[in-house]
């Protein structure tokens, strides 16, 4: 797909129809942030990049320490109105940051839209600091193959094995890579956003519920966690 056509398709398929008002900014950290980046919860000296930030709902977790990038100009306009630090970047062309710039990178449902997942992972590895953490969330093609291409902007189908291979090819060591089913219970996340549960209590409850088998992992979604060691 030609670049200009791809941009138009992405902007039309993911319109700026939600969270247009500053009042929509979540008042509490969402469960995804706490679950995957809990080591940063009590820090104020880290630097994180969100790839595919859209209107900034993840950025709202900690706007002082998180920078967002996206390819959709309309969504970025909303994020800027909300006061977030965001940049227009097409990650197909690389990440416009110096080596070892970030302590953490979050990329949720981005990699399946890219033509070269390994190059994307290499760029993430390059801009991570030593000891930095990468979290990539994507569809598991082995489970979601029947509906994967219902989204016309999906390009690269990935499985648990191929996602791990991408990380290894990018430079991450096998011992520093973990690929699992997404395991953030939606109900708990809602309670956090509504202010009924603190983040620490939500994480504790989630861990207990998964341990006893009450909550099941989402079969169609994978989460890669990788450290730059």
The predicted-structure confidence for 66-95, as pLDDT tens digits, reads as follows: 999 999 999 999 999 999 999 999 999 999
The predicted-structure confidence for 182-203, as pLDDT tens digits, reads as follows: 765 567 767 776 778 777 787 7
In DSSP terms, 160 is beta-bridged to none
175/6 Cα distance (integer angstroms): 36
The predicted-structure confidence for 198-229, as pLDDT tens digits, reads as follows: 777 877 887 777 667 665 555 578 999 999 99
Q: What is the pLDDT of residue 205?
A: 81
> Which three-class secondary structure string do you get for the chain?
CCHHHHHHHHHHHCCCCCCCCHHHCCCCCCHHHHHHCHHHCCCCCCCEEEECCCCCCCHHHCCCCEEEEECCHHHHHHHHHCCCCEEECCHHHCCCCCCCCEEEEEEECCHHHCCCHHHHHHHHHHHEEEEEEEEEEEECHHHHCCCHHHCCCCCCCCCHHHHHHHHHHHCCCHHHEEEEEECCCHHHHHHHHCCCCCHHHHHHHHHHHHHCCCCCCEEEEEEEEEECC
130/100 Cα distance (integer angstroms): 7
89, 95 contact by CB (below 8 A): yes
In DSSP terms, 223 is beta-bridged to 137, 180
Predicted confidence (pLDDT) at residue 10 exceeds the cutoff of 70: no
| b (16+ CB within 10 A) / e for 189-205 | bebbbeeebebeebbee
Task: Give the residue, 41 or 63, on which the prediction is more confident.
Answer: 63
Lowest mean pLDDT among 16-20, 27-31, 109-113, 157-161: 16-20
Task: Give the residue, 3 or 80, on which the prediction is more confident.
Answer: 80
Q: Where do the structural domains in the chain lie, given as residue ranges?
A: 3-227
Which numeric CATH code is attached to 3-227?
3.40.50.150
Geometric angle at alpha carbon 60, from 55 and 61, rounded to 5°? 140
Banded model confidence at residue 64, pLDDT cuts 50, 70, 90:
very high
The predicted-structure confidence for 117-168, as pLDDT tens digits, reads as follows: 999 999 999 999 999 999 999 999 998 889 999 999 999 999 999 999 999 9
Q: What is the pLDDT of residue 14?
A: 61
225/229 Cα distance (integer angstroms): 13
Supply 69's token pair: 């990038």
């Amino acid at each position: 797909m030609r670049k200009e056509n791809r941009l138009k398709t992405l902007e039309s398929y993911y319109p700026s129809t939600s969270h247009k008002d500053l009042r929509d900014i979540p008042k509490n950290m969402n469960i995804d942030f706490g679950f995957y980046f809990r080591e940063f919860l009590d820090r104020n000296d880290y630097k994180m990049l969100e790839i595919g930030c859209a209107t900034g709902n993840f950025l709202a977790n900690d706007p002082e320490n998180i920078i967002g990038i996206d390819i959709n100009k309309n969504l970025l306009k909303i994020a800027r109105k909300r006061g977030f630090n965001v940049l227009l970047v097409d990650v197909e062309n690389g990440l416009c940051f110096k080596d070892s710039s970030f302590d953490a990178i979050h990329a949720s449902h981005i990699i399946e839209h890219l033509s070269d997942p390994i190059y994307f992972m290499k760029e993430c590895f390059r801009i991570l600091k030593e000891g930095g953490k990468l979290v990539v969330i994507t569809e598991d093609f082995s489970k979601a193959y029947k509906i994967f291409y219902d989204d016309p902007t999906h390009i690269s189908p990935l499985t648990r094995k191929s996602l791990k291979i991408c990380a290894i090819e990018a430079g991450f060591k096998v011992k520093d890579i973990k690929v699992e089913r997404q395991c953030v219970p939606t109900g708990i996340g809602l309670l956090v956003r509504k202010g009924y549960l603190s983040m620490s209590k939500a994480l504790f409850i989630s861990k207990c519920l998964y341990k006893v088998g009450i909550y099941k992992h989402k079969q169609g979604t994978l989460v890669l966690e990788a450290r730059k060691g």
